[in-house]
Amino acid sequence: MSHADLPQPPVAPQRPSTRTHHGHTVEDPYAWMADREDPEFIAYLTAENAYADARTAHLDPLRESIFREIKSRVQESDLSVPVGDGNWWYYTRTIEGEQYAVHARCPRPTRDASRPELVAGGIPAGEQVLLDGNAAASGHDFFAVGALSVSHDERLVVAGVDLEGDERFALTVREIATGEVIDDAITGAGYGAEFDRSGRYLFYVVVDEAWRPFQVWRHEIGTPRAQDVLIRQEDDERFWMGLGSSREDRFLMIGLGTKTTSETWLLPADDPTGEWRCVRERVEGLDYDVEVDGDRLLIVHNERSRESDLAWASLDEPGVWHPILEHGAGERFLGVDAFADFVVLSLRAGGLPALRVLPRDPSGPSRLGAARPWPVDGELTALSLGDNPEFASTALLVTQESFVQPRATYAVDPLSGARTLLKRQPVLGDFDPDRYRESREWVGAADGTQVPISIVRRAGVAPDGTAPGFLTGYGAYEIPNDPYFSVARLSLLDRGLVYVVAHVRGGGEMGRGWYEDGKFAAKTNTFDDFVAVADHLRGGWVDPTRLACEGGSAGGLLIGAVLNRAPDRFRVAHAAVPFVDALTSMLDPDLPLTAGEWEEWGNPLAEAAAYGWMAGYAPYDNVREQAYPAILATTSLHDTRVLVTEPAKWVARLRERATNDPATAPILLHTQMSAGHGGRSGRYDAWREVACEWAFVLDQLGAMQVVT
């Protein structure tokens, strides 16, 4: 197809605009896109969608093929492993042809009763529906759940539902047995809602205009919202507020935190109008996590070390912490769960999630015995506790999965180590995990740091520099990019791609230090690590002319920064809801997230140094006149976390400055007009979205056919 025959991209209008900070003046002709309700902006996004559709119309057969591959591997009518809590088994089930899960329960005659048999497409006897996502979503393009909690007397359920994608929820309280709505007074709430122990009161979170959860309120069910009581308000704009409850609903808990500092408040759930008590008032840099353990608290904290330790405190003196266990070399303690006969510590070790068991020992000063490691199957297996709501549990639900092994849920006796497989994620068709391989390698970064990477491919793919490659990363917020099984990923592997995860600094894979070495002025380590991994792959595992890169949200910032620095390493890039106009966003405290994010990126509004380092890597500000690879940027109109403004501005500037040949390396923007940060919400819609993204990548890599 000649250039003359190609569909022409829309031209983004430019309007003169400048900003000056710390003596530095920047021209930003696309600043007008900050108004997401501007009809001209909506028209521009619509035109961009039409252009992207036209440029990829030839991929319709491939998109449909990938969608059908994903769908054919999924057991569409399925049940989760039931979780016992009180007199009921709780589970979710999916129905073939329906987009959303049904959240439900069925009777549990005794605490030691066997779990109901898992029958695909079946409905357990005596089922009561807590929330039917398909009914709730009827007539809407988007649906998400932000709260689902049952009262202690097992009579009521509160559900928080978002029908826009902006992560603001309407709360509805129902009688479970009858389905009758008895309260729908609360709208615009944040995540989480909890009953007091009597079921008379509901506690909920409110967000401010910048979408920061900053208030907790108490609502008497059945009364007007105007009578609600404000429990706590957080005026420090750096702090976020969360609401939860301890195991078996003994305490209500309010957590406040920044990226470095936390504070927890407790209230006995049977005293809803009583006084909340602080575990320990905030101290800058002190971060701690609390678990109620009978007549005391267990606390994971960083008072002594940034990788955290385990301590206990009495309920009478919650701020006085007594040591139990210090982390070992290469370990990072994350949290703790208390049960009648043992305690389970969650941590990271060797770059992977891990668990430790501490048996009860009444004779010891901490009333706990020595920690025992939890065995793991495979070098790239992710291990985690499942939902275990009962303190008296003697067998815990534990999940494990890898890049090639589907998620398995076990009932495990932590004291004996005995385990029973309850469910392995079904993968239909001719799937055989032995057809695939996963392994870990280490890559030397520019400063000599050894960066772990996870490599997944079909058996028989050799590191001979001929295979197409797909490199992904994240690298922010101390969030690890741990192994997980994906049915959809099989469509890449089966086309011969080598799928690689770069566990770059800024993430949490290797502990708190790994995170701190990829933030603030050290943020460029994140990008340098990613480029070093790309260089390691090119000519080794991957054909140097056929490497793709992908990242979302803060991982989209990673992709944007890397493309400015090393565009020649990649044939194609996908940036999902990318945080690419980071400097502009961090200069505006009225935007969602900004003030709380200053402890992640720095405060360029107040600090010249922070302005300098962000100006040096922010993707939008550093787009250059150079050849870029083919780029697909995907976003959503109602995204609160990364505004659609950012990728729209970025693509407009790329088109203005890139020297690409648009016939071979197009730059596309596609916006979901009825979705939020996570994209389309229905499972079939989400599969189609993935199919569209991957078809674009596969086309650019010349890897459209399944390898036989």
pLDDT tens profile 260-301:
999 999 999 999 999 999 999 999 999 999 999 999 999 999
Identify the sign of the CA torsion 645, 646, 651, 654: positive
Q: Residue 384: which H helix or E strand, with range?
A: strand 382-385
301 in catalytic set: no
Buried b (16+ CB within 10 A) or exposed e, 580-597: bbbbbbbbebebbbbbbb
Rounded Cα distance, 658 and 568, in Å: 13
Rounded Cα distance, 631 and 356, in Å: 44
CB 580 within 8 A of CB 650: yes
Q: What is the pLDDT of residue 120?
A: 64
CA 283 to chain centre: 28
Asked if the model's pLDDT at residue 2 lies above 70, the reply is no
Per residue in 507-554, pLDDT (tens digit) is 999 999 999 999 999 999 999 999 999 999 999 999 999 999 999 999
Asked if the model's pLDDT at residue 121 lies above 90, the reply is no
Per residue in 387-435, pLDDT (tens digit) is 999 999 999 999 999 999 999 999 999 999 999 999 999 999 999 999 9
Q: What is the dihedral angle through the alpha carbons of 612, 615, 617, 621, rounded to the nearest 10 degrees?
A: -170
Q: Taking residues 331-350, what's their average pLDDT?
A: 97
CA 154 to chain centre: 30
Rounded Cα distance, 89 and 556, in Å: 40
Q: What is the pLDDT of residue 679?
A: 80
Per residue in 591-600, pLDDT (tens digit) is 888 999 999 9
Confidence class for position 379, pLDDT limits 50, 70, 90: confident
Beta bridge partners of 264: 255
Name residue, tokens 């690879």.
629
Q: Taking residues 180-197, what's their average pLDDT?
A: 96
What class does CATH assign to 303-425? mainly beta
Largest CA distance in the chain: 83
Judged by DSSP in three states, 49 sits in helix
Confidence class for position 3, pLDDT limits 50, 70, 90: low
Q: What is the pLDDT of residue 4?
A: 58
Q: What is the pTM of this model?
A: 0.95
Q: Are strands 331-338 and 322-326 parallel, antiparallel or unpaired?
A: unpaired
Residue span(s) of the chain under CATH 2.130.10.120 come to 303-425
Q: Residue 651: which H helix or E strand, with range?
A: helix 645-657
Name residue, tokens 């406040």.
256
Q: Which one, of 136, 234, 252, lies nearest residue 184 by Cα? A: 136
Q: Taking residues 336-346, what's their average pLDDT?
A: 97
Asked if the model's pLDDT at residue 250 lies above 70, the reply is yes
Beta bridge partners of 149: 158
CA distances from 143 to 11, 100, 131, 417, 676 (A): 33, 8, 12, 40, 10
Residue span(s) of the chain under CATH 3.40.50.1820 come to 16-71+430-701
Rounded Cα distance, 675 and 409, in Å: 31
What is the chain's alpha carbon radius of gyration, rounded to the nearest angstrom? 26
Per residue in 56-78, pLDDT (tens digit) is 999 999 999 999 999 999 999 99
Helices 60-73 and 683-701: crossing angle in degrees, nearest 10, is 130
Residues 6 or more apart in contact with residue 138 via CB below 8 angstroms:
none
What is the DSSP code (8-state) at residue 682?
A: S
Catalytic residue among 393, 402, 491, 553: 553
- CB-CB neighbours of 408 under 10 Å: 19
Per residue in 229-240, pLDDT (tens digit) is 999 999 999 999
Identify the sign of the CA torsion 372, 375, 381, 385: negative
Q: Which two tokens stand for residue 127?
A: 């089922």
Q: Which one, of 265, 214, 217, lies nearest residue 238 by Cα? A: 214
Q: Taking residues 39-55, what's their average pLDDT?
A: 97
Task: State the average pLDDT for the chain.
Answer: 95
Written as one string, the DSSP assignment of 406-474 is --EEEEE-TTT--EEEEEE----TT--GGGEEEEEEEEE-TTSPEEEEEEEEETT--SSS-EEEEEEE-
Name residue, tokens 């790309």.
534
Residues 6 or more apart in contact with residue 316 via CB below 8 angstroms:
none
Q: What is the pLDDT of residue 1?
A: 47
Confidence class for position 708, pLDDT limits 50, 70, 90: confident
CB 82 within 8 A of CB 72: no
Q: What is the pLDDT of residue 111?
A: 82
Asked if the model's pLDDT at residue 5 lies above 80, the reply is no
Catalytic residue among 196, 309, 677, 681: 677
80 in catalytic set: no
Q: Taking residues 179-204, what's their average pLDDT?
A: 96
Q: Are strands 572-576 and 542-552 parallel, antiparallel or unpaired?
A: parallel
**Domain 16-71+430-701, CATH:** 3.40.50.1820
Q: Residue 396: which H helix or E strand, with range?
A: strand 396-401
432 in catalytic set: no
CB 346 within 8 A of CB 384: yes
Per residue in 659-705, pLDDT (tens digit) is 989 999 999 999 999 878 888 888 999 999 999 999 999 999 999 99
Catalytic residue among 337, 639, 670, 681: 639
